[in-house]
Chain A
């Protein structure tokens, strides 16, 4: 596509990246087909091609408007459009940049502003979030309707494995909201690793991966967080950590992007690239040990796997978890439209509740096609979002397996 970027951005690194992305777009429209918002709303303005075009206008010097903000807000950043695009347009990067500029120039009003700031303040802080959640649990009947559903009863967690003598070790991102929302996931991940002869070195000073700031148009705040995470991991990396395991695919996608996000930072570029190279989703490690894995004793066998967008469209690991689960003895049920987002999308389910709910209803219908006993997933956001409305339990897939 032809472009004429405006002077304010044309020569910056971000501008050049955006220009290269825009130029790849041929305006063919293929991406419309798999965009959840276009499928629901049928308006070019809510399609990837239309959003690219709207961002292009801003980069070409048009003043951003509330309308553009609205259509960018509605985008889930699921990146299904990227998987669909034959031309290799990196929509996600363009959207981040577009949002940043729009955010600077179009002030948020009233409640909207507070909610966004609130999310950016609370979610990345596990202690604060945990405290609030506990308070919420205690006062559940008093909390207003839409939020009440988000307050999950606490499930008991297994014990962390005792400190081990394994020579192999990995780091693990424990995440910001995950420990409070689904306490079993992290210790369970560590136990699986431990039983496979791999120790998990805990780095509790690292919590949020930075994705929340990043996708709410606050990229500088995100970068600060990323740098401090790198600092916390670095000594362990130097000591020989063989991977950074990220068991929430949304966070995993973000950590895998550190190298790119800090590419222009002279002090951190190299370290960030190293972190990116080390970051893996658990599937990438567990696949190699498939022979040692089996369904957990109490796990139902008929499973529908909901592939998070961050696992398939961002990390490009589509089909791998399902294949492993099938191989170790689960009966995987068919899931139509598995490439379409469930509506969770980070903070989306809070900021765009109506669209999120519609997408969830569709997703649950599709997931239930083959009458599974349980829904498995690989991301905390999708898990809690689906679980709010699902009749059958929704679990992280790592909770359904064991080392035999």
Chain B
């Protein structure tokens, strides 16, 4: 467990009488849909950020929209916090349970309701896995573009909750750019639709607001997404570099030349070997860093781009460039990258995955600083990240069974995030804030901005029951954390332009 408390006093202000709630819930839920015994609750105590654990009071696994409505209504009446969980792959503790609350697990909502290939849309339940949408659309030559590396398992509801990005988001946008509508149940239990099947809807853009709202505004029970036609052709290449910094310069160089690849990803150090061990992708395990680049479009376009990319990468010191020979090899190049985080489990018992965004031109500098910062704590860091959009994922390797190592990893993590802010970046790229980066939000935003966030949250959830203690810090928290980090109410380096 991390050294600091996960929840603050003000996050634990709820006065919950659980027995009557259990009785009421039993009336509406299927037999196994209500989990109250400790061994069962325990399996839900954490998400993809496993060192952060918290037992919920209850776990609820509903089957129907009506059941979700009733659960929320009952919790609203009784003043019980609710944390929604999709597949529990969040890396920021987004679905970490609340100690006084109900964990609402949406795993049973896993049906694809409709694929309309004429209109190129899919209407799915929130627990449907991201990859399952693409699989269902494949027979029509369509796919769902945002592809988080966790796409095999993460749910579309969780993708909206975290506004997930992925390998192809550089060109095709994040979740928010690919969702047309969501059906949401409010904390009061009311079902509403936000957005529509057309590209624009009247009124305020509440749909965008739902993206990245981390389960704090409502419970999503249906998502309508855009599907894209498969590109006419694509090429995937892998470039090797003798040091990480040249890789960083190469990325900046590519973008500066106006090339927008379908995906542009980088991996370094031991992560390359770990991923190779899992998929046998054919990665260059002698390289200090590899860059994977996908180009898509018409034949001619791709051929031109391939030439330009090849030239640019060689200019920046690529020691080897390998173009995938066939579809299987293309898939393997990506499969290794997508499995890279958990593959690191082969070489280190634990890792702490960071998620900061920086201006691309700072990549080389930041990568160097990251290795210095971790070396100072005697930890190793490997990087596996969306290089194209400057979204870094340093994985800080540690051994949770060794006293003090988690804390050291957290210190490294915090220093890395502050470094991101220093160079003009942000503390989160795509994994959300959750509990993990809530303190760093105080570095990123001023008090007035944070108050506005709370105002918006209260407009949806007056009692503050949905996922309390996540994503938006209380001003008390910032006051306490800020004493350590902010001087005179100013952000560090106020002269820098923010992303």
Question: Which one of A29, A34, A53, A86 lies within 8 Å of B339 (CB-CB)?
Answer: A86
Q: List 10 A-B contacts (CB under 8 A).
A: A2-B349, A33-B131, A42-B109, A42-B110, A43-B61, A57-B42, A86-B278, A86-B339, A86-B345, A87-B345
> Given A33-B153, A44-B105, A86-B278 in contact, is the A25-B345 Cβ separation under 8 Å?
yes
Interface residues on A, range: 35 or more
Question: Which one of B87, B340, B345 lies within 8 Å of A24 (CB-CB)?
Answer: B345
Segment with Cβ contacts to A, from B43-51, B69-77, B174-182, B262-270? B43-51
B153 vs chain A, min Cβ distance (A): 5
In the assembled complex, which residues on chain B have CB atoms less than 8 Å from the CB atom of A33? 129, 131, 152-153
In the complex, residue of chain B having the shortest beta-carbon distance to the beta carbon of A34: B152
Whether A30 and B152, one on each chain, are in contact in the complex, defined by CB atoms closer than 8 angstroms, is yes
Q: Is residue B344 within 8 Å, beta carbon to beta carbon, of the partner chain?
A: yes
Q: Mark B29-56, 1 if CB is under 8 A from A, else 0.
A: 0001001011110111011101100000
Whether B346 and A24, one on each chain, are in contact in the complex, defined by CB atoms closer than 8 angstroms, is yes
Given contact pairs A1-B349, A86-B339, a sample of 14 additional A-B residue pairs in the complex whose CB atoms are under 8 Å apart: A1-B50, A1-B400, A27-B48, A28-B48, A28-B150, A28-B345, A30-B152, A32-B153, A42-B107, A42-B127, A43-B107, A43-B108, A49-B88, A65-B39
Q: Is residue B283 within 8 Å, beta carbon to beta carbon, of the partner chain?
A: no
Q: Which 9 A-B pairs have the closest CB atoms?
A: A87-B345, A42-B107, A2-B400, A86-B339, A42-B108, A27-B50, A86-B342, A26-B345, A28-B342
Among B146-174, those with CB < 8 Å from A are 150, 152-154
In the complex, residue of chain A having the shortest beta-carbon distance to the beta carbon of B340: A86
In the assembled complex, which residues on chain B have CB atoms less than 8 Å from the CB atom of A34? 152
Measured CB to CB, the residues of A under 8 A from B are 1-4, 23-34, 38-39, 41-45, 49-50, 53-54, 57, 62, 65, 67-68, 84-89
Whether B108 and A26, one on each chain, are in contact in the complex, defined by CB atoms closer than 8 angstroms, is no
How distant is the Cα of A338 from the Cα of B425 in the complex, in angstroms? 44
Q: Is residue B89 within 8 Å, beta carbon to beta carbon, of the partner chain?
A: yes
Q: Is residue B343 within 8 Å, beta carbon to beta carbon, of the partner chain?
A: yes
Whether B129 and A2, one on each chain, are in contact in the complex, defined by CB atoms closer than 8 angstroms, is no
B498 vs chain A, min Cβ distance (A): 31
Whether B50 and A87, one on each chain, are in contact in the complex, defined by CB atoms closer than 8 angstroms, is no
Question: Which one of B42, B152, B343, B406 lies within 8 Å of A53 (CB-CB)?
Answer: B42
Whether A87 and B343, one on each chain, are in contact in the complex, defined by CB atoms closer than 8 angstroms, is yes
Question: Which one of A27, A42, A68, A84 lies within 8 Å of B152 (CB-CB)?
Answer: A84
In the assembled complex, which residues on chain B have CB atoms less than 8 Å from the CB atom of A3? 401
Whether A43 and B105, one on each chain, are in contact in the complex, defined by CB atoms closer than 8 angstroms, is yes
Q: Is residue B333 within 8 Å, beta carbon to beta carbon, of the partner chain?
A: no
Q: Mark B106-130, 1 if CB is under 8 A from A, else 0.
A: 0111100000000000000001010
B407 vs chain A, min Cβ distance (A): 13
Q: Is residue B341 within 8 Å, beta carbon to beta carbon, of the partner chain?
A: yes
Q: Is residue B351 within 8 Å, beta carbon to beta carbon, of the partner chain?
A: yes
Q: Is residue B430 within 8 Å, beta carbon to beta carbon, of the partner chain?
A: no
Whether A44 and B37, one on each chain, are in contact in the complex, defined by CB atoms closer than 8 angstroms, is no
In the assembled complex, which residues on chain A have CB atoms less than 8 Å from the CB atom of B51? 2
Question: Which one of B50, B342, B351, B406 lies within 8 Å of A30 (CB-CB)?
Answer: B342
Q: Mark B375-419, 1 if CB is under 8 A from A, else 0.
A: 000000000000000000000000011000010000000000000
Q: Mark B86-114, 1 if CB is under 8 A from A, else 0.
A: 01110000000000000001011110000
A96 vs chain B, min Cβ distance (A): 19
In the complex, residue of chain B having the shortest beta-carbon distance to the beta carbon of A23: B349
Q: Is residue B222 within 8 Å, beta carbon to beta carbon, of the partner chain?
A: no
In the assembled complex, which residues on chain A have CB atoms less than 8 Å from the CB atom of B152? 30, 33-34, 84
Q: Is residue B350 within 8 Å, beta carbon to beta carbon, of the partner chain?
A: yes
Whether A88 and B346, one on each chain, are in contact in the complex, defined by CB atoms closer than 8 angstroms, is yes
In the assembled complex, which residues on chain B have CB atoms less than 8 Å from the CB atom of A42? 61, 105, 107-110, 127
In the assembled complex, which residues on chain A have CB atoms less than 8 Å from the CB atom of B350? 1-2, 26
In the assembled complex, which residues on chain A have CB atoms less than 8 Å from the CB atom of B340? 86
In the complex, residue of chain B having the shortest beta-carbon distance to the beta carbon of A70: B32
Whether A28 and B43, one on each chain, are in contact in the complex, defined by CB atoms closer than 8 angstroms, is no
Whether A28 and B341, one on each chain, are in contact in the complex, defined by CB atoms closer than 8 angstroms, is yes
> Given A3-B401, A53-B43, A57-B42 in contact, is the A30-B349 Cβ separation under 8 Å?
no
> Given A2-B350, A33-B152, A39-B110 in contact, is the A45-B341 Cβ separation under 8 Å?
no
Whether B50 and A44, one on each chain, are in contact in the complex, defined by CB atoms closer than 8 angstroms, is no
How distant is the Cα of A23 from the Cα of B277 in the complex, in angstroms? 18
How distant is the Cα of A32 from the Cα of B342 in the complex, in angstroms? 14
In the assembled complex, which residues on chain B have CB atoms less than 8 Å from the CB atom of A68? 39
> Given A2-B400, A29-B89, A42-B61 in contact, is the A54-B43 Cβ separation under 8 Å?
yes
How distant is the Cα of A369 from the Cα of B319 in the complex, in angstroms? 47
How distant is the Cα of A25 from the Cα of B349 in the complex, in angstroms? 8
